[in-house]
Structure 1
Amino acid sequence: MKLFVLLMGFPGVGKLTIARELSPHFAAKIIDNHWFNNPILRLIDDDGTAPLPSGIWEYTGRVRQAVLDAIVAYGPPSVNFIFTHAGIEGDERSIRTFQQIADAARQCEALLVPVRLLCDEEELARRITTPARRERLKSIDAQASRERSRRAQVFDPQHRFTLNLDVTSKTAEASAAAIRDHVLSVAADDFASLLGNNVAIPL
């Protein structure tokens, strides 16, 4: 069964770090959201704190779609993928991003498992100021992080396999283990559902 895991959470929550811990469990390739963003963000003067031009995300969305189209066209059947996404509830761009990934999963006949990574406001503000983030063109504005935590929620796709995971006091290893267990449980239930519907399973 091909697998797409989508890690969603605010900047600084540890999406990429957790993805790196999780990937060996499923022999998965990591597709980080900054793969799509950085080719465009490197073209503008961005200090990590100033607001970005709103139109910039149209271009990053095109890059994302090109990568997903390539996965659908050329991704080996045995390769799984872990995606990261800083989605915000009620945000139109976040909805489009999820739909792009969900459409690619459907075309690949992959099991899609969304994971909402949740974190305490102050811990998130502490994590976001890590110097290594700036080297990867990531936001480092602690105050903006606090304001985001107070006024917004992590995107909820209303998907039946969604896992809500509080990572405030969890290590990346513990978070990855919890996600692994959830994915295995979901995969077992999904497989049992197919058998219950008398769907032929290739051997």
Structure 2
Amino acid sequence: MLIHLNGWPGSGKLTVGRCLAGLLGARLLDNHTILNVGYAVTERGSAAFYETVRAVRAVAFARILELPPEVPVVLTNVVTRGGGSSFPEETWRAVIDLAALRGCALFSATLTCSPEARARRLGTAGRVAADKMHDPAALAAAMATRVLFDDGATDRRWFDNTDLAPERCAAAIAAWVGHHG
């Protein structure tokens, strides 16, 4: 199975993903593992950046296809429509194709939290050090022109983790996907 954690920056995707991978004995592929190569060696948003990210994603997904089918994989990303970029939709299509090639279910868990919790999380030193989005105004602008989506998943559900510890949120997701067999 593939479990995709979607949500706006600061929603807890990576933190919950780490907990979820531990619970399920899954592999975790965070979107920044792929994006950081592009950030490191190209100009962000350039044609070379997207070419690099596509190449890294292709290698990572090829390795996922080599894993035994019983090994779950947790992926994180912000999948949106709108805002002038089709790259998030392209990335989601690649995830759908990965599930089809792997012959497995694709569960989309969208994480959400209150604006106050998101603002608090955005400002953490770890986000800044990891070169993740940490500017509330930039996020507000993105949220004003884009919408989260997960069309094509086998099943999908939203999880509000405003008041949930990451371990409890991960346990709720694990119970949800476990319910599907």
TM-score range, shorter chain: 0.7 to 0.9
Note the C-alpha offset of 1:186.
Answer: 2.3
Note the C-alpha offset of 1:9.
Answer: 0.8
Which of 28, 31, 47 is the matching residue for 2:29?
A: 31
Larger radius of gyration: 1
What's the counterpart of residue 12 of structure 2? 14
Aligned residue pair count: 178
Note the C-alpha offset of 1:32.
Answer: 0.6
Distance 1:186 1:78, change over 3 A: closer
Report the more deviating stretch, 27-36 or 119-128.
119-128
Distance in 2 between the 1:65 and 1:115 partners? 23
Which of 105, 110, 114 is the matching residue for 1:111?
A: 105
Distance 1:155 1:172, change over 3 A: same
Q: Is 1:122 paired with 2:116? A: yes
Alignment check: 8 A CA contact 1:122 1:146 kept: no
Which of 77, 93, 112 is the matching residue for 1:85?
A: 77
Mapping for residues 123-162 of structure 1, pairs under 5 Å:
123-162=117-156
Distance 1:133 1:143, change over 3 A: same
Percentage identity across paired residues of the two chains = 28
Distance in 1 between the 2:138 and 2:36 partners? 20
Aligned to 1:42, what secondary structure does the other structure show? helix
Distance in 2 between the 1:98 and 1:20 partners? 21
Distance in 2 between the 1:118 and 1:153 partners? 13
Q: Which runs of 5+ in 1 are unaligned?
A: 46-51, 188-203
What whole-Å deviation, never above 9, does each CA across 1:142-163 have from its counterpart, x for those lacking one? 2212333344332232534011
Note the C-alpha offset of 1:89.
Answer: 3.0
Q: TM-score, normalised by structure 2?
A: 0.88
Alignment check: 8 A CA contact 2:37 2:52 kept: no
Which of 50, 54, 64 is the matching residue for 1:57?
A: 50
* Coordinate RMSD, CA, aligned: 1.9
Q: Which AA in structure 2 matches 1:75?
A: L
Q: Which AA in structure 1 matches 2:23?
A: H
Q: Which runs of 5+ in 2 are unaligned?
A: none
Q: Which AA in structure 1 matches 2:40?
A: R
Which of 159, 168, 174 is the matching residue for 1:174?
A: 168
